Amino acid sequence: MGQNVIEECNQTRETKMNRRNLLGALAGITATGLAGKAAASSGTAPTVAVGQSAGAAARASRTGPRNLITDVAGLKVGQADDAEIKTGVTVIIPDKAAVAACDVRGGGPATRETDALSAENLVQEVDGIVLSGGSVYGMAAADGVAAWMGARGRGFAMRATPGIPPSPILPTACLYDLANGGDKAWGEDPPYRRLGVRALEAISSDFSLGTAGAGYGANSGGLKGGTGSASALSADGITVGALVAVNSLGSAVAPGGKLFWAAPVELDGEFGGLGTDGLAAGPEDYGRAMRPRANTTLACIATDVALTRVEMQRIAIMAQDGLARALRPAHAPFDGDVVFAISTAQQQAPENMPRAFLVTRLGALAADVLARSIARAIYEATALPGSEIPAWRDL
């Protein structure tokens, strides 16, 4: 049934794809489950039957081998931090320039080169994404990364010219960790350029979660924040990953206990497996005291499917729902919430699937993976020495 609907939708798209046709196609495909396409291509019956619950369909997905964003082929991550200053930097580096997009929802963002990601602009690919502590000072992390890359010939150029370095495209976002008790008396020499280079030189498929990288000095809803990551592998072999630095005004934990708001989408006990029993709150019960000053959650979504910038933009928009699922409240005036999305294009999009449906699937996966990453950041974090703000594990 799902395959027939896909074929019908493709035929319709060749003539006139209107809203009614698209919604009808999506309804038919959803009824047979997300795994229907993979099963049809293998000649077996769909593993998700008509009328099966959304939860059962979700179980068709599983984490990647590392349960990190680097499960997305063609992507590496590097981190550096400074325990005395209580800050850090995380870089997400594709093996080659990659299509990317960005969605900003917070009321106080600190960003660089995000306008370059608009679909109408010249450069369609990026050389990396930089996430940093340090508020406006953290922008310098991208200076270090750009200098390192440019010296090695990586970056954008209309044509290669001896003696003229290319221009690495490095969209950057920073969170506020200036008031976390670290030594910020750096005068005219903030550490972020050096931290950016250190992070780039440390890129790997494996990296630390919790009190590490851009989330080293972060706090979240009255608890220690941090860096989190997770991944999902769909039933038909598409990988979606997320990395996040959580420095949010809102809490990832429900009032009165240790349950995570992201618990309904947890996989394999990745943040304690506490379940959802008792997961509730009153309309204005936020639990631990919020500390509005200058907060921010910075995230990057990645997939291995080749997509356009416009499609990646929609995935970034949909992924923002993961913040709202995992943090309460989210997107406040004090937050600078930013979600980047990047495609490493390691595999082509399925030819017999409407592109709009593919983007819908990946956007939904991205939101769940981001929610899980946020919970993992808080779950893995450890309190900073001398800090009055506890870690989740200390509750």
**Three-class DSSP category at 174:** strand
**79 and 35 within one domain:** no
The secondary structure of residue 122, as a DSSP letter, is: S
Q: Which residues pair with 103 in a beta bridge?
A: 339
Q: Where are the alpha helices (DSSP H) in the chain?
A: 2-15, 19-32, 36-42, 54-58, 140-151, 192-201, 309-326, 355-380
Q: What is the mean pLDDT of residues 306-326?
A: 96
**31 and 85 within one domain:** no
97 or 42: which carries more pLDDT confidence?
Answer: 97
- Cβ atoms of residues 48 and 187 within 8 Å: no
Q: Could you report the per-residue pLDDT of 235-248, keeping only the tens digit for each? A: 889 999 999 999 99
Sign of CA dihedral 114, 119, 122, 125: positive
Rounded-to-integer distance, Cα 207 and Cα 302, Å: 16
pLDDT at 158: 84
**Three-class DSSP category at 220:** strand
Instruction: Tokens for 261, please give them.
Output: 């708001």
At position 151, the amino acid (one-letter code) is: A
Exposed (0-12), middle (13-18) or buried (19+): which is 180, by Cβ within 10 Å? buried
pLDDT at 20: 40
**204 and 294 within one domain:** yes
Look over the chain and give the mean of its residue pLDDT values, rounded to a whole number: 86
Domain count, the chain: 2
Confidence band, pLDDT 50/70/90 cuts, at residue 366: very high
**93 and 107 within one domain:** yes
- Cβ atoms of residues 253 and 287 within 8 Å: yes
Helix axes 355-380, 309-326, angle to 10 degrees: 40
> Of 28, 60, 92, which marks where a domain is finished?
60
Residue 341, φ and ψ in degrees, nearest 5 = -140, 135
Which residue in 234, 348, 243, 223 sits closest to 290, CA to CA? Answer: 223
268 or 331: which carries more pLDDT confidence?
Answer: 268
**39 and 118 within one domain:** no
Helix axes 2-15, 19-32, angle to 10 degrees: 160
Exposed (0-12), middle (13-18) or buried (19+): which is 3, by Cβ within 10 Å? middle
Rounded-to-integer distance, Cα 114 and Cα 314, Å: 15
Confidence band, pLDDT 50/70/90 cuts, at residue 288: low
Cα-only R_g, the chain = 21
* Euclidean distance between the first and the last CA atom of the chain, given in angstroms as a whole number: 50
pLDDT at 307: 97
**pTM of the entire predicted model:** 0.86
pLDDT exceeding 70 applies to what percent of the chain? 82
Q: What is the mean pLDDT of residues 277-302?
A: 81
**56 and 78 within one domain:** no
331 or 344: which carries more pLDDT confidence?
Answer: 344
> Of 21, 45, 60, which marks where a domain is finished?
60
Domain containing residue 88: CATH number = 3.60.70.12
Confidence band, pLDDT 50/70/90 cuts, at residue 124: confident
Residue 320, φ and ψ in degrees, nearest 5 = -60, -25
**380 and 327 within one domain:** yes
> Of 35, 60, 85, which marks where a domain is finished?
60
Q: What is the mean pLDDT of residues 203-222?
A: 97
pLDDT at 331: 85
Sort residue 130 into left (φ over 0), alpha (ψ -120 to 50) or beta.
Answer: beta
User: Is pLDDT of 34 > 60?
Assistant: no
Range name among 30-34, 153-157, 331-335 with the lowest pLDDT average: 30-34
**47 and 66 within one domain:** no
pLDDT at 37: 42
**100 and 22 within one domain:** no
**142 and 116 within one domain:** yes
**Three-class DSSP category at 66:** coil
Chain centroid, CA 8 distance in Å: 34
**189 and 54 within one domain:** no
Q: What is the mean pLDDT of residues 367-379?
A: 98
* Domain boundaries, position 73: 62-394
**265 and 219 within one domain:** yes
pLDDT at 142: 98
pLDDT exceeding 90 applies to what percent of the chain? 68
Q: What is the mean pLDDT of residues 83-110?
A: 94
79 or 331: which carries more pLDDT confidence?
Answer: 79
* 94 cis-preceded (ω within 30 degrees of 0): no
Rounded-to-integer distance, Cα 149 and Cα 153, Å: 6
194 or 121: which carries more pLDDT confidence?
Answer: 194
292 or 327: which carries more pLDDT confidence?
Answer: 327
